[in-house]
Amino acid sequence: MPIATPEVYAEMLDRAKAGGFAYPAINVTSSQTLNAALRGFAEAESDGIVQVSTGGAEFLSGATVKDMVTGATALAEYARIVAEKYPVTVALHTDHCPKDKLDGFMRPLIDISLERVSKGLDPLFQSHMWDGSAVPLEENLEIAKELLDKCARARIIMEMEIGVVGGEEDGVVGEINEKLYTTPDDALATAEAVGVGDKGRYMLAATFGNVHGVYKPGHVKLRPGVLKEIQDAVGAKYGKDKPFDLVFHGGSGSTLEEIQEAISYGVVKMNIDTDTQYAFTRPIADHMFRNYDGVLKVDGDVGNKKTYDPRSYGKAAEAGMAARVVEACQNLKSAGTKIS
């Protein structure tokens, strides 16, 4: 059962929180990067999460098709087949979906899962993210309530974001300002609107200075203690220890100490994209530079088919990305914790 059932996914998140570790959530954009993620999880003996963004899903559908639902559905179906060969359990997730893409991405995918569940099947994806960071908190929470109800009926865990992650990802730009830090009042309003698990299970991406992309040291001021503040505030009101299942976004370039401090406050999922993109591309660049005369037909020569065969550099790219996934599992302490 390499693709988690709803029950197993819930167990995965519970085990992470109780055991003091988090799952890497690896963004993929192709069958090749999916295979790299699966290989990395297997080599680390870690379960994990594979996720696709709106831009990644569009790319997966084909450069001229550009249909997010088609690309996401194709990835999920492909993953179900290839993941069977790996001795780990993986959950499928869709990443940041802003308001203007809900009707073209998240809502149709939930509808597909509702239909599957009505036939006795598991949902297509195990979780979906609603990114309401660009709208006022009140509107964010109203939309979250509607989506959470629909996700719960489809046996899906919802992820939502309060606060703003800085930087840029798939066209969503977050300014670097005070909104990078979620407040206890924001968290209390969230709990009041969508509950603390009683209205459907969700994960919360609360911000503590997070910025997408990689920046030089000193540019990003992470304050993991913000997560403790919101957990304590909501926990005190509802009588629950660490009531939120937290998600760490924009973690590229973070120190190991910052990552593990965040985990100690209830982070169960950390998104990994920029670092694995580089780990995938770096071996390809090395191959091209080393085999310049082979991958190009220079001065009318014939080149070298073995070096411009995509499999030759694709294998190196997969190995490079898989190694970075292993590193992520080690940093998040999920290595060696697989269920199966």
Query: For 265, how many CA atoms within 13 A lie in the half-sphere containing its CB?
Result: 27
Per the annotation, the verdict on 95 as an active-site residue is yes
Q: What is the DSSP letter of 87?
A: S
Q: Of these residues, 14, 47, 67, 95, which one is catalytic?
A: 95
Query: What SS3 state is found at 51?
Result: strand
**Nearest CA among 196, 209, 313, 267 for reference residue 19:** 267
Half-sphere exposure of 54 (CA within 13 A, CB side): 20
Burial of 152 (0-12, 13-18, 19+ CB in 10 A): middle
Residue-wise DSSP of 271-326: EE-HHHHHHHHHHHHHHHHHTHHHHS-GGG----HHHHSHHHHHHHHHHHHHHHHH
Give residue 153's identity as a one-letter amino acid code: R
- Name every residue whose Cβ is closer than 8 Å to that of residue 302 and which is 6 or more positions away in sequence: none
Q: Report how far residue 213's alpha carbon sits from residue 251's, in angstroms, rounded to the nearest whole number.
A: 8
The DSSP letter of residue 211 is B
As a residue count, the chain comes to: 340
Q: Which residues belong to the active site?
A: 95
